[in-house]
Amino acid sequence: MCGILFSIQTKDPASGDRPNHLTNLFPRLTSAIAARGPDAQDSVQLDVAQLILTFSASELRLRGETLVTQPHRDADGNLLCWNGEIFEGLNVAPDENDGVKLLSALAGCCNAYDVSSAFGAIEGPYAFLYYHRSTNTLYFGRDPLGRRSLLVHHPDAANPYFVLSSVSAGLDPGHSLEELSTAHLFAIDLNVAAGLGDVKLQSCISSVPRDIGGKSLPFAHPSAVNRTIPNDPPKVESLDSIPPHLTVAVDELIVHLDRSVMLRVRDIPHRETAAGEARVAVFFSGGIDSTMVAFLADRRGSLFQDCRHVPPEEPIDLLNVAFENPRKLTVQVEGNVYGLPKREKKQKLRDPLDYSTVKVTYDVPDRLTGLQEVEELRRLCPHRTWNFLEINVPYEESQSARAAVEALMYPSRTVMDLSLAIALYFAARGVGQVRPHAAADAQPYTSPARVLLNGLGSDELLGGYGRHRTAFKAAGWQAVIDELQTEIDRIPTRNLGRDDRVISSWGKETRHPFLSLSLVNFLAELPVHLKMDPRLEAGLGEKLLLRLAARKLGLVEASSRKKRAMQFGSHSARMAPGEGDRKGDLMLEEK
């Protein structure tokens, strides 16, 4: 995980220094990107015609044997700010840095076609900024799924400068940020920009197609969903046996997901810490997605290498977060006050609940399923130390962190954004307690892992949401196919940029095995009836293919668990007074 910060502004003829309107903003953004990359920070400033270009970057070392400082520079004057990981498409040895290798590959590019082709050939999460000196052109963009954050401020009358940043400064008069589109890459011809002036600079930003020239590139776009309409496929009676028509698909899913996990946990550099400390953690609710990811991280990679993906002597930390939620405590003591008519609810809430009479526990749904599932992992993988990290968040602590979380997640600003972001914020911090076994006393523990695996993506790809069942009831298989295509299309615009900004504030990196483009493309190309069956009951029909795969691997309990959203499983949803009946898509009130 790294941080990118870049600006363009017209040179001030009087002083040649950065204009005053950036004076306050830049230090705040610089501090924020340093938190993402605490191992090293550097900056480069260039004068190009009448423009001042400022490149800043930070580094979190998760690739290679030696620390490499950004921005990356070569002998020809090219610069690269790189926030990403290359897992496929470019051969990066265990002792090499992928940013250095990518800059070397880009050095051979002569135009936008070459740059687009270079990025369309690599797979992994990324955001980048590349200055090609010989053509005086700036290229920037994000990966096709938007797994890394990159925000843009376009010049306006109040703030006449161009800014790209991995993070924001929250609500700030110095910028008006939006997520950079993943539909294409972007280019700025600085020779043209130099003559336009501040506010008009935006007019010289051009879009660079990911499939420029019609060339077939393996990772330029996710594949389209297979639109074959099934003709009354056989129903699966239970998860105990795999029917013949699903045998191959189940095996292929295991191979693809196993490989995706392997690529995301191997070759993580050792830090100057005690031997045997965890380098990998999993956001862990005990559901099927996070359990599959955790189980495969332990797996012996016989297909790819004769060792376990995570060395057997290292623990794997399972991050399980639970919140003290006053709304839930009110329901516990007084019943569902929030379901009463408005006048009665107001009367009930007039006098605050006396919490001294209430025993606060953290037995939220995700804690209970997590505790059950870690025991299944311990039975199946007894050689591994599984650190089930109980992260308990008192109400006062969550509210104290709220302003920081809102600034990190900006420009995301809804009630649901906050419910999800605050859960990820405390989970990624990794401070809590562990028990060597279920009956043991809890011991304080802080996870040292800097790579955090996330099960996000399986619901979108395998039909895991209730809306997929609703679509089938309304208009059959065709409607389900349409909904699955919509799911893939909107992955880049939903949660990933926000999650990246929040999690990385702790100097840690989240990786999404289900969102490997290789796995996304494999699942998109499968006929819909091999992935899910909305004719079957909940806990069986949704994500049917994944459930069968989990059962085949021995994850009996996880394979039949129903979908539960993180904000409800952890009780992070709508904790503040007055938020009990606010819809998730409403905007947060400005302070």
Give catalytic residues, as residue numbers: 2
CA distance linking residue 251 with residue 555, whole number of Å: 15
480's enclosing H/E stretch is helix 466-490
Pair type for strands 451-453 and 509-511 = parallel
Tokens of 298: 């332990």
Q: How far apart are the first and last CA of the chain?
A: 31
Instruction: Assess contact for 46 and 53: CB atoms under 8 A.
Output: yes
List, in order, residues 6 or more apart from 5 with CB less than 8 Å away. Answer: 26, 29, 30, 33, 54, 55, 56, 57, 163, 164, 165, 166
Return the DSSP state at 494. T
**C-alpha of 506 from chain center:** 14
Cα radius of gyration rounded to whole Å, the chain: 25
* Phi/psi at 510 (5° precision): -95, 140
Distance CA 126, CA 82 (A): 7
Please give the biggest Cα pair distance in the chain. Answer: 78
Question: Across 11-103, where does the E strand assignment appear?
Answer: 40-48, 51-59, 72-73, 79-84
Q: Between the CA of residue 270 and those of 68, 250, 309, 339, 510, what are the distances in Å?
A: 15, 35, 15, 52, 17
> Among 583, 415, 426, 441, which Cα is nearest to 505's?
426
Query: Measured between alpha carbons, how far is 38 from 36 in angstroms, rounded to an integer?
Result: 6
517: alpha, beta or left? (left if phi > 0; alpha if psi -120 to 50) = alpha
Residue type, 58: S
174 touches 522 (CB < 8 A): no
8 A C-beta contact, residue 277 and residue 232: no
Question: What is the per-residue burial (b if ≥16 Cβ within 10 Å, else e) of 395-428?
Answer: beebeebbeebbbbbbbbbbbbbbbbbbbbbbbb
Single-letter code of the amino acid located at 449: A
- Tokens (6 digits) for 197: 């002036």
Report the alpha-carbon distance of residue 287 to residue 369 in Å, rounded: 7
